[in-house]
Structures are given as C-alpha cells and as structure tokens.
Amino acid sequence: MDDRGGSFVAVRRISQGLERGNTCHSTSGSTAWLGRGLSCVCAQSRESDARPSFDLTPSQEECLQRLQNRIDIAYDSSIPEHQEALRALWNAAFPEEELRGLISEQWKEMGWQGKDPSTDFRGGGFISLENLLFFATNFPKSFKDLLWKLEGDRSVWEYPFAVAGVNITFMLIQMLDLEAVSFNSTVKPRTMVGAVFLKFLSENESAFDLLYCITFKLMDHQWLAMRASYMDFNTVMKATRRQLERELLLEDITRLEDLPSYSLLTR
C-alpha cells in the first residue's frame, strides 16, 4: 500500500534507563481492528522490530504484565463496567446532550463509524476506550479541541475523532512491543523505544494512557502541519510514529512530561 492508500470514512469538519524503575506506581485517572476501511500503517511489521529482548527486573515485569493484561481485554458490550465506561465517555464529550442509548446514531457525532461503537473497538480492545476516557478526564481542553477540530486551518474532510483514537492505541501497542501472547507470559521489549517506555511505566502506571494523549495531540499537530486531508491519514500516522520514536530516545528525557510534544497538551 502506498502512503496515500486505503479507504477511509471521513467526517466533514464542523465549524465551531530501564534499571531506574523498580516499583510500579499508580496515579489517579481512568483507566485492532481499525475502523472499517481505515487501514493504518502501524499494523505493518518492520525489519527493525527483530531485535534482542531486554532483561527485566521482577517489578518491571509485573508492571508490564499488568499493562499487557489490560491490552488483552476485548470490549464486551454485555459487561456493565464496559457499558458505564462508554456512557462516561459520552458524558465527557457531550455533557449537555443526553445519550439515548448505547446503540444510537448519536455516536457518529464523536467520529464512530456507525451507531454501535462496540464494532469499532475490535482492534483496540477495552483499553482504547480507557485511553479516550483518560484523555477526556485529564486533558479536557485538548480532548474537546480535537473532537471539534477547533485549532488550525482544517481540511474540509477530516479524520473521524473516535476511530482515529482507536488507531492510535493500536499503533502504540505495536510500536512499544506490548502485544500479549496466548500462554500469558510477559512479552519483553525488543527495541530501545520499548525499553525506554518500560522505564516510564515502572514509575507511572498510567504511562501508556499519558503517552496516548501526547500521541493524539502530536498526530493532530502533524495533520495540520502537513495540511492533510482524509486520504493522508496513513502518511500522518507514519510521521507521528517517527517523531514520537525520536522524542522517546532523546538523552535528556527522564519522564513523559519531558517529551517536547507534551507541551502541545492543555488541560
């Protein structure tokens, strides 16, 4: 597939070092299929992924296993916790509009591709919903800015917000080597980027959720800088991943808040 390939359901713009981490710390906050036809370059394997794994301390392995357990949970519309998380996402996005049902045409307003968001979670799993909810809760201004495309000179045809969010979850899982395996053992990072992230994870259990927020905002920043439209989504995702990898490998980064792209976020 070339950089501009892949079909995509667009939405029209609405004007308006490893050894440092020895314990796993929890922080406050909430805790792939890609959209129908929304193919994502992040699903493609790369030769550079075939690298030796890094040794982990027992506490680092525990932190990583917990994250991989989250990743392994599929969204299930019959589970009350999952239903409540979806309602909470709606309330965070549209606090003044009552949701008529978990299956409703209203969901298209958020950038889901149909009236049932559960069909869009298949590739990202429940964690992709948790990521969106964490974003809405911890960075509500940035969340609303992206949802309503309030910043910059936008394309007439924009990326759908919610489905793009699922794609970002999926891309991060692959970039950081976080795929869990069927026999439930911890998958060690095979790249320096994955190893650096594990240091942050061992110091902040919400590191994946925070990195998601940074990445979503960075993706939109790249989108605007490239003056992108819906056919450019894969190209923008490639550029976002490259920039994120560069920032994670900067020598003076000791926490995710030190990443240059963190400054793009506003609460």
pLDDT tens digit sequence for 99-149: 999 999 999 999 999 999 999 987 789 999 999 999 999 999 999 999 999
Report pLDDT digits (tens) over 63-104. Answer: 999 999 999 999 999 999 999 999 999 999 999 999 999 999
Domain boundaries, the chain: 58-264
What 3-state class would DSSP assign to 11? Answer: strand
The answer to whether the CB of 32 falls within 8 A of the CB of 167 is yes
How far is the CA of 246 from the CAs of 125, 163, 188, 196, in angstroms?
27, 25, 21, 12
Rounded Cα distance between 68 and 56, Å, is: 15
Q: Find how far residue 259's CA is from the centre of its chain.
A: 16
The number of beta carbons lying within 10 Å of the beta carbon of residue 146 is: 23
More confidently predicted of 194 and 8 = 194
Spell out where 73-213 has E strands.
157-158
